[in-house]
Amino acid sequence: MSLIRMSSPHVYKANSTANVMRLVTLAMLPGVLAMTVFFGWGTLIQIVWASLLALGFEAAMLKLRKRPLGFYLGDFSAVVTAALIAVSLPPLAPWWLTGVGVFVAIVIAKHLYGGLGQNPFNPAMVAYALLLISFPVEMTRWNAPFVLIDGASVASFMDTLGAIFGSVEPAFYDQFTGATPLDELRHRGGLTTEEVWRQSAVLAEGIGAWHAVSAAWLMGGIFLLYRKVITWHAPIAMLATLALLSSMFFGYDPDNYADPLFHMTTGATMLAAFFIITDPVSSATSNRGRLVFGAGIGLLVFIIRTWGNYPDGFAFAVLLMNLAAPFIDLYTQPRSYGHTRANKGRGGNA
């Protein structure tokens, strides 16, 4: 009799990278739904378009790098990246903008660095940052929530498709697009926060839409936490830092600084907290490391939002902290069982 020889363990949890990625996609559903409700078909169209592109680029790269196609495509990670890019872009962004973003994310930020698990930067954020720098006009042309649009109300699916794929008059944009609350607050001139709130329809009425979308992302995040796909460390550290800083400044000078709730619910805060900064590959690895990582992002975002030139600083904050992640790992190595101290700061990182 001859049987197979294998090293322990002999059983595994039914758990796979594809599974993890599927769960992440599933958790994005509420957010995507909310965005569709409030901003139209654009988001959905972008997600499908970006996913197709991502799979195409992924397949091409795998072929170039001579890797088994089915095996790696099956891990679903390209789709997650694509979806993240899609929900970060303005829903009516032109098709080529999404295309450039996905190309940068999959080909440059992921595969040129060695593929899944090897990329030091979050691919979606690399793409977003690059687009923001290169195409500021397109990137900030965010369509207004429907509650703000008179008469015409919802743009039809075909109109949206047409807008994205470039067969629609610029007037279309004028009808539908507007500033985001963050933009509004940034370009307020000499007005105090309160005056802006009173004057701006985007803020006064449109904020409800943003609240709803944020709540949806939060739901997805809680689902991920519940399913143990992510740990609480980075999101909570990030949100807490942001809340703390904004409360401090708001408390000190409510005329010039936005309140904490505003910071929590506008821009990409919730999306980033649970879906972007939790990207395991490019973040810090230990629990304590993730606390530091998240707090760092919270701090940077607050700084960029408050004093920087870009409306929302997540892409830059995440990229900067990606850069710092190896060092954070180095200094947050946990204390192992039976050791009195952690071996911090020596050795090195992979």
Partner 1 sequence: MGKVFAFHGGIHPPENKKQSTREPIGQLPLPKRLYVPLQQHIGMAASPIVEVGQTVLKGQLIAEPVGRISAALHAPTSGRVLSIGPHPVPHASGLDSDCICIESDGEDRWVEHQGIEDYAAMERDDLIEHIRQCGIAGMGGAGFPTDVKLHLGDDHIVNTLIINAAECEPYITADDMLMRERADQIIGGIRILHHLIKPSHVIIGIEDNKAHAIHTLEKALKGCELNIDIQVVPTKYPSGGERQLIKLLTDIEVPSGKIPADIGIVCQNVGTMSAVYRAVHFGEPLISRVVTVTGDAVARPQNFEALIGTPFADLLDAANLYEDRLYRLVMGGPMMGVTVEHDQIPVIKTTNCIIAASREEMPPAAPEQPCIRCGMCEQVCPAELLPQQLYWFAKGREFDKAKHHNLFDCIECGACAYVCPSSIPLVQYYRFAKSEIRTEEAEQRKADHARQRFEARQARLEREKAEKEARRKARAEEAAKAQKARKAPEASASGSPELDLNALKTAAAVARTKLKKAQKALDAARESGEGDLSALEAALASAQTSADKAQADLDKAQSGSAAPAGNDGPDIKQLKTAAAVARTKLKKARDALKNAETKGLDGLDKLRATVQELETRADEADKAYQQASGANTQDSAGSEASEAAPVDLKALKQQVSIMRTKLKKSEAALADLEGEERAQAEQALETLRQRHAEADRAFKAAEQAQLDKAAAQGVDLKKLKVDAAMARAAVTKLERSLDKTEEAEARASLESELAAARRKAEELNETLKQHETA
Binding residues vs partner 1 (CB under 8 A): 1-13, 15-17, 19-20, 71, 75, 77, 115-118, 228-229, 231, 280-281, 283, 285-287, 290, 329, 333-340, 343, 346-350
Q: Which is nearer to partner 1, 117 or 251 (CB)?
A: 117
Q: Which is nearer to partner 1, 203 or 328 (CB)?
A: 328
Give the gyration radius of the chain's Cα atoms: 21
We find the least distance from the C-beta atom of residue 297 to partner 1, in angstroms, to be 17
Q: For the chain, give me the number of helices (H) and strands (E)?
A: 18, 2
Give the number of C-alpha atoms closer than 13 A to the C-alpha of residue 304, restricted to the C-beta side.
Answer: 19
We find the least distance from the C-beta atom of residue 271 to partner 1, in angstroms, to be 19
Report whether 294 contacts 318 (CB < 8 A): no
We find the least distance from the C-beta atom of residue 54 to partner 1, in angstroms, to be 16
Q: Which is nearer to partner 1, 17 or 140 (CB)?
A: 17
Class of residue 17 by CB neighbours under 10 A (exposed 0-12, middle 13-18, buried 19+): middle
Q: Which is nearer to partner 1, 309 or 346 (CB)?
A: 346
3 state DSSP class of 178? strand
Among the listed residues 297, 308, 250, the one whose alpha carbon sits nearest the alpha carbon of residue 273:
297
Report whether 141 contacts 27 (CB < 8 A): no
Q: Which two tokens stand for residue 306?
A: 């408050």
Q: Which two tokens stand for residue 93?
A: 């962004």
We find the least distance from the C-beta atom of residue 234 to partner 1, in angstroms, to be 10
We find the least distance from the C-beta atom of residue 279 to partner 1, in angstroms, to be 9
Mode of pairing for the β-strands spanning 142-143 and 177-178: antiparallel
Q: Which is nearer to partner 1, 80 or 92 (CB)?
A: 80
What single-letter amino acid sits at 20? V
Q: Which two tokens stand for residue 37?
A: 């409700």
We find the least distance from the C-beta atom of residue 137 to partner 1, in angstroms, to be 36
Q: Which is nearer to partner 1, 14 or 137 (CB)?
A: 14
Alpha-carbon gap, residue 89 to 315, rounded angstroms? 12
Q: Return the bridge partners of 143, or none.
A: 177
Q: Which is nearer to partner 1, 182 or 229 (CB)?
A: 229
We find the least distance from the C-beta atom of residue 299 to partner 1, in angstroms, to be 22
Q: Which is nearer to partner 1, 7 or 309 (CB)?
A: 7
Among the listed residues 247, 245, 269, 244, the one whose alpha carbon sits nearest the alpha carbon of residue 259:
247
We find the least distance from the C-beta atom of residue 257 to partner 1, in angstroms, to be 35
Q: Which is nearer to partner 1, 92 or 230 (CB)?
A: 230
Among the listed residues 218, 196, 220, the one whose alpha carbon sits nearest the alpha carbon of residue 207:
196
Q: Return the bridge partners of 177, or none.
A: 143
